[in-house]
Amino acid sequence: MLRKIRNGEEHLIVNDPVRPHIPFEQRVGAGKDIFVLENDVTQQIDAVICVAYAIEVPTNEHQLELFSQQACQDGQQGDVAVFYTVWSYTKGAGREIVNQTAQYIKENKPVTRFVTLSPLTEMASKFHLSNGAKLVAKHEDCQNFEYYLN
């Protein structure tokens, strides 16, 4: 079951392998969400994903924050959903949370694009490419993949 993070689950971000330095308070609030994939049977958390809603595709963490804040200042939400970190505790849960989160956002938010702000690692590239994303840009510190939903 996909759901937003609950009070008392802030500790989950210490397991973030990509951006553990981003504090919890910077991951939530206007223009941002943290989703968890909870196992329906065990109620254990299988995966976590952090999303920012930006006005443009960011090329670094500074732009990620800036572009999501700019949309909120205008009283809106950005139309670019940026998956900036994802991790899983069980095999296949990373793929499942990306797909379920994208579907949820598509149905509930005014978003036109789904992109990542991914590290420059082979693991990140393989993960996104094998899950149907396309590489759209490589930068000094990160790369952007885009997911296309029907």
| DSSP strands (E only) in the chain | 2-4, 32-38, 45-54, 80-88, 113-116, 118-119, 134-138, 142-147
Q: How far apart are CA 101 and CA 36, in angstroms?
A: 9
| Amino acid at residue number 28 | V
Q: How far apart are CA 54 and CA 68, in angstroms?
A: 4
User: Which residue range(s) make up the domain with 72?
Assistant: 2-147
Domain count, the chain: 1
pLDDT of amino acid 73: 78
Q: How far apart are CA 114 and CA 107, in angstroms?
A: 13
Q: How far apart are CA 89 and CA 115, in angstroms?
A: 23
pLDDT of amino acid 70: 86
Q: Note the Cα 26 to chain centre separation in Å.
A: 13
- Residue 137, H or E segment: strand 134-138
**What does residue 62 show for φ and ψ, rounded to 5 degrees?**
-60, -45
| Full-model pTM | 0.94
User: In the chain, which stretches have pLDDT less than 70?
Assistant: 74, 150
pLDDT of amino acid 67: 94
User: Looking at residue 73, which CATH number applies to its domain?
Assistant: 3.40.630.150
